[in-house]
Amino acid sequence: MPDTTTTIDRDQREGLYELVRNHLGSIEDFFVALERTKDFAKAERLGLEFAEDFRLLQDIGWGEEDERETFELTIPAHDLMELLQRLHGETEKLLVESPDERKSREEDEEVDQRFRLGLDACGGLLVELDQRGGGSA
């Protein structure tokens, strides 16, 4: 039976926190899909994604800073893998931008570094969960 929790360190937490905050910045898309365009399938998908984000924040904390050295992720392994795969994919797209998009973000290299930290955290955790058999839970 796979472990029921996964523990991450402060750097992994910082990276995941940045990725979740970035995704939550698109919460207006949920309103648009639900109320304006009546795209209920998209609204449902976004609702599920935001619920995953909120669930992760319960484990890693809601504030930018958290004094803990380690963070216990209590999300079931299979669900955690799906969340990490989504965040990983979104972040890869963000880091591979067009030259115009890149130029507009050059002044924000610190954010890109946090995105890379999150990308690394997702990748490492996905490998760890896969080795534990979390993908089949």
Nearest to 8 by CA among 121, 126, 132: 121
pLDDT truncated to tens, each residue of the chain (137 aa)? 345 689 999 999 999 999 999 999 999 999 999 999 999 999 999 999 999 999 999 999 999 999 999 999 999 999 999 999 999 998 888 777 655 665 565 557 777 788 888 888 888 898 888 888 755 44
90 located within any domain: yes
Establish if 1 belongs to a structural domain. no
Q: Which of 66, 62, 59 is nearest to 4 (CA)?
A: 59
Domain range for 127 = 6-136
In a domain, residue 42? The reply is yes
Q: How many domains does the chain have?
A: 1
